[in-house]
């Protein structure tokens, strides 16, 4: 079963301290998803610098769109249904519930959906230098690319699937051995899709939220938090940098 998503977020109210908000595939309790019979969504996070840089949950009835060229990068984690993407060269791949895919900015592709789809998404990388090579969609694998896997030294290993030319935004898979990190203030937002292990994220007020495989957390830029975990593997999306 696909786990729930949890977002660490600074509440909009001026007198509200940073807190942990647990997300649901159906949207927040009492709010749900908004839209029409074709598509519905709820936006859980919006950048203060660019209101088009966002993260949320979305569902849509079957449809086909494209070909068109992406004007931003989008990370998608499918919760329900399946979708087939076809790039400019004719390469075709189907993604199903539990799969993760990245569509980099500049990708020319067609979206083919024959059933209802629900997904979590992050839209980022809207400005700056364009990719130097013709981009295409990328399946983000829990073990890294076949034949490469994860590499690293010390307590962590990882594989970076995508990085912007300025090296400020990226997507990849990362694993760490048990450790407790320092309380620190983030300089960017980060989406974390937990693949194995258990971890607690503790905010600047000492409030602790526990996550396990299947859960997803988003830590907004500017929040103070601390990592307390066992061996954990996750997908990451680093975006909305300072």
Q: Which residues pair with 76 in a beta bridge?
A: 101, 121
**pLDDT category of residue 27 using cuts at 50, 70 and 90:** confident
Closest CA to 75 of 44, 51, 105, 114: 105
For residue 12, the model assigns a pLDDT of 38
Q: Tell me the per-residue pLDDT of 174-214, one tens digit each, with 9 for 90 and over.
A: 999 999 999 999 999 999 999 999 999 998 889 898 999 99
Q: Tell me the per-residue pLDDT of 57-76, one tens digit each, with 9 for 90 and over.
A: 999 999 999 999 999 999 99
224/237: higher pLDDT: 237
The domains of the chain, with CATH numbers, are 23-28+38-139 (2.60.120.10)
Tell me if 122 sits within 8 A of 191, measured CB to CB: yes
**pLDDT category of residue 24 using cuts at 50, 70 and 90:** confident
**pLDDT category of residue 20 using cuts at 50, 70 and 90:** low
Integer-rounded Cα radius of gyration of the chain? 18
**pLDDT category of residue 32 using cuts at 50, 70 and 90:** very high
**DSSP per residue, 185-210:** E-SSEEEEEEEESEEEEEETTS-EEE
Q: Tell me the per-residue pLDDT of 113-138, one tens digit each, with 9 for 90 and over.
A: 999 999 999 999 999 887 777 799 99
**pLDDT category of residue 216 using cuts at 50, 70 and 90:** confident
Percent of the chain with pLDDT over 90: 77
Helix, coil or strand: residue 19: strand
For residue 202, the model assigns a pLDDT of 92
For residue 130, the model assigns a pLDDT of 76
pTM as predicted: 0.90
**pLDDT category of residue 16 using cuts at 50, 70 and 90:** very low
């Amino acid at each position: 079963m696909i786990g729930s998503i949890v977002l660490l977020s600074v509440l909009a109210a001026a007198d509200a301290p940073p807190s942990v908000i647990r997300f649901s595939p159906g949207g927040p309790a009492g709010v749900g998803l908004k839209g029409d019979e074709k598509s519905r969504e709820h936006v859980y996070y919006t950048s203060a610098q660019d209101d088009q840089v966002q993260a949320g949950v979305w569902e849509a009835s079957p449809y086909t769109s494209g070909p068109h060229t992406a004007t931003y990068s989008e990370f998608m984690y499918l919760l329900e249904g399946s979708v087939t993407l076809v790039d400019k060269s004719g390469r075709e791949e189907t993604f199903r519930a539990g799969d993760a895919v990245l569509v980099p900015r500049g990708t020319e592709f067609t979206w083919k959906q024959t059933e209802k789809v629900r997904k979590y998404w992050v839209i980022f990388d809207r400005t700056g230098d364009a990719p130097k090579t013709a981009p295409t969609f990328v399946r983000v694998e829990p073990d890294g690319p076949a034949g490469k896997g994860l590499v690293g030294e010390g307590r962590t290993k990882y594989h970076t699937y995508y990085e912007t030319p300025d090296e400020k935004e990226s997507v990849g898979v990362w694993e760490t051995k048990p450790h407790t990190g320092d309380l620190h203030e983030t300089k960017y937002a980060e989406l974390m899709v937990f693949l194995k292990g258990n971890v607690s994220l503790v905010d600047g007020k000492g409030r602790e939220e526990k996550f396990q495989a299947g859960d997803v957390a988003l830590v907004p830029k500017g929040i103070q938090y601390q990592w307390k975990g066992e061996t954990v593997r996750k997908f990451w999306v680093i975006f909305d940098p300072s």
